[in-house]
Structure 1
Amino acid sequence: MPQWRADQLSPPSPAVTEKAADFRLGGFVRTHLANHNALWKDSKRDAAQGRLLGCLGALLGVVPTLFAIGAFVNGRVAVGLLLVIPLAVVIGVAVSRNRQRSQQGPRPYEVVYEFEHGFACPSPDGAFAFRWDAITSIHQAVTRHFYNGAYTGTSHVYTIATGDGGKIVVSGRSLDQGRKQSEFSMATVLMDQVSERMLTAAAATVNAGKEVRFDELAIGVGGIAHATDSVPWSRVTGLTAKNGTVIIQVDGRNWWTRQVQLVPNFPVFWALSQQLSATSKNER
């Protein structure tokens, strides 16, 4: 995702503002750079156009260049210069297109608007809106990237669902490449506004003697269970999350394994299970 300037991040459109008011999202907070699939057709179209122009550029640039090299080698300088013209045109068009793109700012499918009580995204029908307190699950896929052993950034994909069937995918990437430094701010917002809220509610449920479900897993003060087995926390000997995989060990053996992205509300599950496991160990 390009690193747009702050003055290129426009405020919400009237359609977005109206939808935010309908959902009682409160005041506008800020614009975030984040891809979303509410306008996936537009995103796919722009990507396809980019690939097509790239292929045409390669065809119109490489072929004449090869002939031009041959002409220069054979002493036909005038012909070689003539053949270089298409390459110059292709380069000029590419530079002009990139400059125009950078001046236009982000596309509607590259921005998410944060409000006090939720967020909104442009959509084909105007806008989609989501309240923080209506979000029931977030599946996250967070991947750290390295080049020659050096960390270069992290990609984020969040699949967000609400209790009434609403669903949207928000994604982006943080960069750590020399002078190119950027943070995917929506990740922090989702953690602060959704995960922390869910964790508070989940902790209250557990303290009331009830279980909290995370898809096939259920955890409570007494232990952890899935469809075919349940164990007390005293038997849980390992809780690890590494390379995108969660592993729960019981009596020293792997008892349950899943990819992080398949665990709903993973930050809540992870914090709660770690806390309950630690409490059990301290009580021994």
Structure 2
Amino acid sequence: MPTGLQILDTKDAPIPVSDAVREAAQQQGIGALIESFVLVTKVRSLTQNKDAEKVSVHAFEHGLVREAHASQPEVFRWDGIETVNQSVTHQYRNSAYYESMFYYKLRRRDGLELEIRGEYKDPKHTRFRDSALKSKRTHCAELGEVMSRRIASEQLADAKAALARGERLTFADVVISTEGVHSRKHGTVPWGQIRDVKVSNGVVQFQKEGKFLSLSSTPVGKIPNVILLLDLTDALREAS
């Protein structure tokens, strides 16, 4: 099954929810339906019909359900996600805001993946910040942020327990422990010396005494569970 999917803006057209999706959601206990989206594969073969290239994704309170043509629904519970990768980039033309692009990839503990990507107009960067005329793509981007935070909250307790046992946690090229942040270039930087951690210019930046250290060069979209990383760094800095 293709995993690279582009969100399709269906305007106000209702998206049907099959009995199979409702049954799968009920069996997995993922709560009430919030919103549904239609995705299309990036590449369509000449022999592939229009129904086959479409995938429905239904967002529930505690997870997502993916349903492709002639396939059984697949459930992605928030508490069953091993990693989530995400990125949102804002594009400008002649110094004026043009559009935003989002990307989310979920990976279950059994290795099954779901990718969602698309372009949208971010209300925070336009003149119509309070407009109710948001597209499906805008709703999907906003839901993606909520989804990432829900997944991070599910992972937080286990991650803190691992740190308390003395383990080091790795997020791409970022390695953390209760002692601090570890890197080949700077060694171990204690949490007491780190003033701030934030995402800026597409990377995670660590500020030490007024200057930013190059502890990570990995694009944020390639760092798994970056929201969890930020939550943990905040907790460790506060505890230092």
Percent of aligned pairs with the same amino acid: 24
User: Counterpart of 1:261 in structure 2: which amino acid?
Assistant: G
**d(CA) in 1 for partners of 2:153, 2:100:** 22
- 5 Å-filtered alignment, 1:171-210, equals 171-175=117-121, 176=123, 178=128, 181-182=134-135, 183=138, 184-206=141-163, 210=167
Identify the residue that residue 123 of structure 1 maps to in structure 2: 68
List gaps (5 residues or longer) in structure 2. 1-7
Shift of 1:158: 0.7
Identify the residue that residue 217 of structure 1 maps to in structure 2: 174
Describe the shift of the 1:244–1:219 C-alpha distance in structure 2 as closer, same or farther (beyond 3 A). Answer: same
Identify the residue that residue 3 of structure 2 maps to in structure 1: none
Shift of 1:159: 1.1
Does residue 6 of structure 2 align to residue 2 of structure 1? Answer: no
Q: Pick from 24, 30, 33: which aligns with 1:29?
A: 33
Shift of 1:204: 4.8
Q: Pick from 222, 229, 233: which aligns with 1:269?
A: 229
User: Counterpart of 1:217 in structure 2: which amino acid?
Assistant: V
Shift of 1:19: 3.7
Does residue 104 of structure 2 align to residue 144 of structure 1? Answer: no
Tell me if the contact between 2:38 and 2:54 (Cα under 8 Å) persists in the aligned partners.
no
1:178-212 deviation line (CA, Å, top 9, x unaligned): 57644334214313421222234434544565443
Q: How many aligned positions are there?
A: 216
Describe the shift of the 1:234–1:30 C-alpha distance in structure 2 as closer, same or farther (beyond 3 A). Answer: closer
Q: Pick from 233, 246, 256: which aligns with 2:204?
A: 246
1:5-63 deviation line (CA, Å, top 9, x unaligned): 1xx232421333344345x144441223363xxx63xx52299x9xxxxxxxxxxxxxx
Question: Normalising by the residue count of structure 1, what TM-score does the alignment of the two structures yield?
Answer: 0.61
Q: The residue matched to 1:258 in structure 2 has which SS?
A: coil
Identify the residue that residue 57 of structure 2 maps to in structure 1: 112
Shift of 1:133: 0.8
Tell me if the contact between 1:32 and 1:186 (Cα under 8 Å) persists in the aligned partners.
no
**d(CA) in 2 for partners of 1:112, 1:133:** 18
Identify the residue that residue 44 of structure 1 maps to in structure 2: 43
List gaps (5 residues or longer) in structure 1. 50-106
Describe the shift of the 1:163–1:269 C-alpha distance in structure 2 as closer, same or farther (beyond 3 A). Answer: same
Question: Normalising by the residue count of structure 2, what TM-score does the alignment of the two structures yield?
Answer: 0.71
Tell me if the contact between 1:11 and 1:31 (Cα under 8 Å) persists in the aligned partners.
no
Shift of 1:151: 3.1
Does residue 205 of structure 2 align to residue 259 of structure 1? Answer: no
Q: The residue matched to 1:126 in structure 2 has which SS?
A: coil
Identify the residue that residue 15 of structure 1 maps to in structure 2: 20
Describe the shift of the 1:34–1:257 C-alpha distance in structure 2 as closer, same or farther (beyond 3 A). Answer: farther
Structure having the higher helix fraction is: 1
**d(CA) in 2 for partners of 1:261, 1:128:** 24
Q: The residue matched to 1:189 in structure 2 has which SS?
A: helix
After the TM superposition, which of the residue ranges 158-167 and 241-250 deviates more from structure 2?
241-250
**d(CA) in 1 for partners of 2:149, 2:238:** 24
Larger radius of gyration: 1
Q: Pick from 172, 189, 207: which aligns with 1:231?
A: 189
